[in-house]
Amino acid sequence: MPQDFMSQFYLDGKTALITGAAGYFGRRFVQGLLDARAAKVVIIEKEGVGPDFRYQLDQIYGSRIAWYENNLADDDETDATYGRILQEHDCPDVLVNNAFIFGSETGFTLGRREVIAGTTHEEFRQCFEAGLWWAFQAMQKLGPVMRARGSGSIVNIASSLAVIAPSKHTYEGYAHAVNPIMYGPTKSGLLGLTRRMADLLAPVRVNALCPGAIPNLAEGRHKAGKEYEDNFLNDLTKRMVLGRCGEADELVAPLVFLASEASSYITGHPLMVDGGWTVTSQEVR
């Protein structure tokens, strides 16, 4: 009989762990994992972040959700949290390293126009710590247990800016803040880490999801130091092969693909979900 290929996208009986689950992408990722029939979704989020989302999940999904309040910037606390998760839920089948700091701590500051002289050591350090160390620490604690079990899927949330640098002309004439200079290198490092861990943790699969320009219009300038009050986004779309920016919901199916057995022979791979931003020279079309 022919194989039911669609069943490979389901996560029946599996436990998924996601960091930064109450954020703009994270909320959609959680819903996608639940819609893919994950038996349980374990959430790590900073204390006091997303109480509305937590309440909603508890009301709808009950015991399918396990929520851990944890400050990923605290190594000892984070180590203890991963230890608790392993004790209380065994090792997750899926790990989604989604957490990051979009804020002034990592250089996402309203009105920033100068990214060389204006960048501080502390911004650089916090960007690399949030973008690389947090993902490594999760893989360090959970990856070997997955490997010993002989299965698992890890998805690191990177960026299309891991493989290209935005042209300086992208921001000319707009109030929109310039992307921090260390953001792209941090995400490039995450791709390098993804490849190395794919080798070290096999047969666990380790891949990266690389979103393109997906503006957070719901929270806008108050979230990540972004300014959407001029024609910036309309002109940015001219740099996309598909002629538009993306929407956060368009990341969910690619995430489920990488998390599920549908991608069983894929590892160490950066999956671009960027409307074709990285396939051209970024010249205005």
| Residues that are catalytic | 183
DSSP string, the chain: ----GGGGG--BT-EEEEESTTSHHHHHHHHHHHHTTBSEEEEEE-TTS-HHHHHHHHHHHGGGEEEEE--TT-HHHHHHHHHHHHHHH-S-SEEEE-----SGGGT--TT---SSTT--HHHHHHHHIIIIIHHHHHHHHHHHHHHHHT--EEEEE--GGGT----GGGGTT--SPPPPTTHHHHHHHHHHHHHHHHHHHTTSEEEEEEE-S---TTTTHHHHS---SSSHHHHHGGGSTTSS---GGGGHHHHHHHHSGGGTT--S-EEEESTTGGGS-----
